[in-house]
Amino acid sequence: MYASSPTIPRPATAPSRPASTWTGWGQWLALATMTLDHLTRYVLPGGWPLDWAGSSLGRIAFPLFAAMVAWHGLFNTRNPLRYARRILVIGLVAQLPYMLMPRASDALILNVCFTLSLGLSWGAMAHALLERHRRGDLGTPWLVLAALGSLVAWQWLGSWVEYGHEGLLLIPLFMLAMHHLHHTGEALAQRLVAVACATPALVVTGLLNSSDLAKSFAVATCLAVLGLAAGAHRLTPVVPLAMPRWLWLAWYPGHFALMALGVWGLG
């Protein structure tokens, strides 16, 4: 998914980018599981015994969306902040129909596109600052100050967005894990560092879900994506039917609008 901002610099010595063919499959799976989750949550009558679908297959959607955003932000776009702005625009368009969905609380919550956009912005800026610090262009006190400021912003913003504080953490943690898994060498110490950097993403993915069934599907999705970053991306065939760009951009606000009309029409 999805003031002018500076381009986030890339290391000059970075290895070749991993193949992104898996995201073609990921797009179809993410939209299908998200739609299933929203249908069972908002549209289908409560008496229908389909809660299991939202608590299992529906739990694939958010970690998969977050992983694809992190992957593209880390490997495929020269300007992650511009990419984050595009996701934010989708979120703005979707917010009104999202707010028309039946909710357990009347509190204002910003939809998941805001979570993805803010998470990508946070991860991209953290990546850029760490690179500047590594090159000696940014002193340690400034790096610490930026980290403290970002934590204050995370604490405040987490109460306003879908999936909360854990949701905001997921993309930065995916970017950390993917970076180390892709760049790791053959040495045991490097492999152990990569595993250590991948662990927080798995933990946070589990914390995003309450039931054991939901945790299992979400963490399995996270593990699969981390395996792709570790090298399995080379084995993924090209999807036979690529998703049209217009469908990818329009589905999130569009499906909420259709569901809002359905819920309103049914009273």
Condensed to tens digits (0 to 9), the pLDDT of residues 199-231 reads 999 999 999 998 999 999 999 999 999 999 999
- What is the number of domains present in the chain? 1
Q: Select from 57, 59, 257 the least CA-distant residue to 163.
A: 59
* 190 in any annotated domain: yes
* 3 in any annotated domain: no
Q: Select from 102, 103, 113 the least CA-distant residue to 1.
A: 113
**Can you tell me the distance from the alpha carbon of 164 to that of 170, in angstroms, rounded to the nearest whole number?**
10
**3 pLDDT above the threshold of 50:** no
Tell me phi and psi for residue 15, to 5 degrees. Answer: -70, 170
**Can you tell me the distance from the alpha carbon of 122 to that of 70, in angstroms, rounded to the nearest whole number?**
11
* 54 in any annotated domain: yes
Q: What percent of the chain shows pLDDT beyond 90?
A: 72
61-71 helix and 212-229 helix, angle to the nearest 10 degrees = 20
Q: Give the CA distances from residue 99 to residues 48, 108, 110, 116, in Å, rounded to whole numbers and listed in that order.
A: 24, 8, 9, 18
**Can you tell me the distance from the alpha carbon of 258 to that of 161, in angstroms, rounded to the nearest whole number?**
22
Average pLDDT in the chain: 89
Q: Could you tell me the pLDDT band of residue 69, with boundaries at 50, 70 and 90?
A: very high
* 6 in any annotated domain: no
Q: 33 and 64 in contact (C-beta within 8 Å)?
A: yes
* 8 in any annotated domain: no
* pLDDT of amino acid 52: 77
Q: Per-residue pLDDT averaged across 96-122, rounded?
A: 89
* 135 in any annotated domain: yes
* 2 in any annotated domain: no
* 155 in any annotated domain: yes
Q: Give the domain extent around 89.
A: 22-266
